[in-house]
Chains A and B, each alone.
Chain A
Amino acid sequence: MSQIDGNELRGHLETLVLAALSAGEAHGYEILQRLEARGEGVLHLKEGSLYPALYRLEEAGHVRAHWQDDAEGRRGPRRRIYQLTRKGKAELARRREHWRRFVSVVGGIVEASS
């Protein structure tokens, strides 16, 4: 199966991040791992591109973040933990609905013409 890269995901990345966070709070690296796990090895995005999406979501109030307390004794830079806000959950529900409609309409057209 051909891979889906960052360009194809453009415009959907924020929705994917919101969906990944609906499983519970996570830091950036963990969000990527969730996306890759759910993407069954087909999703291929440059890891750095996740962070602008996270910052946009944070700015819009859809996620909030806090620095992880380094209780595990892990060395190196701290991690920021992201979690969905109530506004973010509502936004995810809205985007899911929009996505279903998009797939239904566009999918119908694409399938019909094949």
Chain B
Amino acid sequence: MKAFDEHVDRILRPLRASGTRKAKMREELLGHLATAYREEREGADSDETAVQAALARFGDADRMRDELQASVPALERVLYIRMGCRRPGESDAAYAFRMARWGTAFTLTLAACTAAGCVLSKAMRGQSLAAAFASTHWTTILATIGVGIPIVGALLFPMFFLELRTQKALRRGDFRSAVKSGLVSSAAFAVFAAGTALAVAWCVPSLFREILIAIGMAATWGLFGPWCTIAAGRWHLKHRPWIPLGQDF
């Protein structure tokens, strides 16, 4: 029933929780509303009256959303922060650009933390902090970050774009296109990871090597990303898609 679908989707869609958890909640809440409706229908004048009575018994959507959000484990709330969601009216390219920006900022932070970690590890091995700082090849690090970070950004943009294409293909039920996008995406990550590995092996100073290894490892993980999307998408295809609710959702 559309009114129930809308009410439940309005409650659940903004939740910071996994898709699996939301799907489970949705089925259960819809089941409850359907039972309440059947009960109300027996004494009501019309379907509409029964629907409104069932919704009134169920409770306010905003309040319920807050309560349900509080029932989601803290780690899951953090992992499913809404940063990765499409904004209303946002184009594919704008979405991919925004996500690439976040990814690049994250990589930059990771690189900075790795460099700081290297300095600290030297200091812990007996050097004074000042000496450890002075003996670090900052020029090389800054130069390589200066080159590497734009490369990461340039890689992430098409990756997010392809990820979106994969998701859209899955939503259409076009599994072949989803696999094609996934293959292109994985191949790009593989080239990037291999390039990083070669750079580490042949021509990089020892300190910066650790930063590159971290980036290379992240890229290797990226190989699996599209296949996780496809696996999750196939699972979601078995369930009813979210219904359109307007700009706020």
Contacts and interface: CB of A to CB of B under 8 A. Distances in A.
B31 A77 contact: yes
B64 A77 contact: no
Contacts of A77: 27-28, 30-31, 34
Interface stretch (B54-62, B123-131, B164-172): B54-62
Interface stretch (A17-25, A46-54, A100-108): A46-54
Nearest to A32: B32
B35 A29 contact: yes
Interface string B177-209: 000000000000000000000000000000000
Q: Which of A28, A47, A80 has the most CB of B within 10 A?
A: A47
Main secondary structure of the interface of B (DSSP, over half): helix
Interface in A46-89: 46-49, 51-53, 55-56, 59, 76-80
B28 A52 contact: no
A21 to B, nearest CB: 16
A77 B28 CA distance: 7
Interface residues of A, number: 19
Contact of B32 (A28, A53, A56): A28
B32 A29 contact: yes
A33 B70 CA distance: 25
Q: Which of B27, B28, B60, B73 has the most CB of A within 10 A?
A: B28
Contacts of A6: 59
Contacts of A27: 31
Contacts of B25: 51, 55
Interface of B: 11, 24-25, 27-32, 34-36, 57-60, 63-64, 67-68, 70-73
15 contacts: A29-B36, A46-B59, A46-B64, A48-B58, A49-B63, A49-B64, A51-B28, A51-B29, A51-B68, A55-B71, A55-B72, A56-B70, A76-B34, A78-B31, A80-B28
Given A27-B31, A52-B64, A56-B71, 15 more contacts: A6-B59, A29-B32, A46-B57, A46-B60, A48-B64, A51-B28, A55-B71, A55-B72, A56-B70, A59-B73, A76-B30, A77-B28, A77-B31, A78-B27, A79-B31
